[in-house]
Amino acid sequence: MIKEDGSIKGPVFVVGNSRSGTTMMGHILRNHPMIFTLQHELHFFEQLCTSGDYNRVLSFDEAVKLAARLLCINHDSYWTQGDPARFSEEAETVIRSIQDRSRTPVVIFEQFLRYVALKNGKQIPCDQTPRYILYIADILKLYPDSRVINMIRDPRPVLLSQKNKWKRRWMGYKNFPLKESIRTKINYHPITISMLWNASVRAVNPFTGHPRVLVVKFEDLLTDSETEVRRICDFLGVDFYKEMLDIPQGGSSLKKFTTNKGIDSSRVEAWRKGGLNPTEIYLCQKITGTLMKKYGYEPESTKVNPLILPWYLFSLPVKLLMSFILNLKRMKSIPEAIKRRLL
């Protein structure tokens, strides 16, 4: 069982800017005999629940619908979720197990996490949803037993990965829907991606010394895997197991799906082999430069193409508008979503 000398009772949240290694971290933790990483990103915060919902007490039927939706997403994936009603009976079991606690969305979410972990024979649930980086303060306050692992990666390979993410459907990732490929393709712009990287790093900065928040650099995890995973286990208060390093290598936007296992250290410098033009690199470094240096990422000298730079600047408003329209359904409260990204 879980120790009582500072060890966690859970849940664990793996957060970070998208394409920063959160999926890989989820796989590592799933290989621990006590930790169950949920099958898919849940997007509970922002998509299903906003700060105004935290203390709202739901009726039994409303609570069942929320639990059913969570069960559905975990089973089908956020992108391909079907009819949550088919999970209603199981959702009732989750809600009835709350017993004397208030049926608020926050309580229901935690109960769901614990239910799924126990159903899979493990004690500690782990939700790996990158976007929760914008909700660290909320998570720490709402779930006093939780731990947060924040993944940080050099913004230039993040930019390259985002640029190629739309191709995943044709690289062996069959669960990546066509509409998601289109949305991802339209979402890409070197300025917005770089600004989102800044927002993610700024969000964790106030918590870098917090006892329940651990910052893990993607590059350190690749180059010194065992040392980093042992550090993570110490943070969580659980034993290290060598099997934690035996993870699938799928998840990259830069190469086809593979059944190979293990941590691929070659991904550290993959972005230098091409894929980003000098102007993209320049814009990324210009926008993220201060925070890049804080985490040890050194900018490179690059020449700007005087023909391409105006295109990126003039296309930005159009891209922003199109992205906003395509992402409307992913935000329960548009003002709150924008505020968290900008402020």
Give pLDDT tens digits for 205-262. Answer: 999 899 999 999 999 999 999 999 999 999 999 999 999 999 987 655 555 556 677 7
pLDDT of residue 6: 47
pLDDT of residue 270: 78
pLDDT of residue 8: 60
pLDDT of residue 4: 47
pLDDT in tens, 1-50: 344 444 567 799 999 999 999 999 999 999 999 999 998 999 999 889 99
330 has a pLDDT exceeding 80: no
Amino acid at residue number 259: T
pLDDT of residue 3: 44
pLDDT of residue 5: 46
pLDDT in tens, 301-315: 998 999 999 999 999
Q: Give the pLDDT band of residue 72 (cuts 50, 70, 90).
A: very high
99 has a pLDDT exceeding 90: no
Region 77-85 average pLDDT: 88
